[in-house]
């Protein structure tokens, strides 16, 4: 989904019936509804609360079980255009 589509007014919106907040898809609205229902998922070890069970499971795995977070592969960084580079490293001096 490109950036222009995200802001398109003709896109379907999923509105929260309680607070009126709009969401881009049904899943996001469903997850948001946990806030209004007061449903919390507590960690059995430290009693920290989470809005969803997957959030609680990630917390237990990475905080208490010390499972390392996966490395993010960002790939090679693109090189800047030569003209832009030359603008900052010009050898010519204006005197």
Q: Is residue 20 part of a domain?
A: yes
Considering the entire predicted model, what is its pTM?
0.53
CA–CA gap between residue 28 and residue 31 (Å, rounded): 5
**Between 86 and 64, where is the model more confident?**
64
Report d(CA 20, CA 13) in Å as an integer.
Answer: 11
- For 12, the domain range is 8-38
Q: Which two tokens stand for residue 84?
A: 């832009």
Task: Categorize the per-residue pLDDT at 2 as very low, low, confident or very high, splitting at 50, 70 and 90.
Answer: low
Asked if residue 64 is part of any domain, the answer here is yes
Note whether 46 and 63 are same-domain residues. yes
Tens digit of pLDDT for each residue in 48-71?
Answer: 999 889 999 999 999 999 998 888
Query: Are residue 34 and residue 44 in the same domain, yes or no?
Result: no
Q: Is the predicted pLDDT of residue 95 greater than 50, yes or no?
A: no
Tokens of 40: 């919390």
Q: Tens of pLDDT along 69-79?
A: 888 877 787 77
Residue 19: per-residue pLDDT: 93
């Amino acid at each position: 989904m490109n950036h222009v589509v995200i802001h398109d007014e003709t896109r379907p919106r999923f509105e929260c019936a309680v607070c009126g907040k709009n969401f881009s898809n049904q899943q996001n609205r469903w997850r948001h509804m946990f806030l209004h229902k007061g449903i919390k998922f507590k960690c059995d070890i430290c009693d920290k609360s989470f809005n969803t069970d997957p959030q609680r499971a990630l917390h237990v795995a990475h905080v208490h079980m010390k499972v390392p977070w996966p490395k993010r592969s960002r790939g090679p960084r693109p090189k800047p255009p030569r003209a832009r580079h030359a603008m900052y490293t010009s050898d010519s001096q204006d005197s």
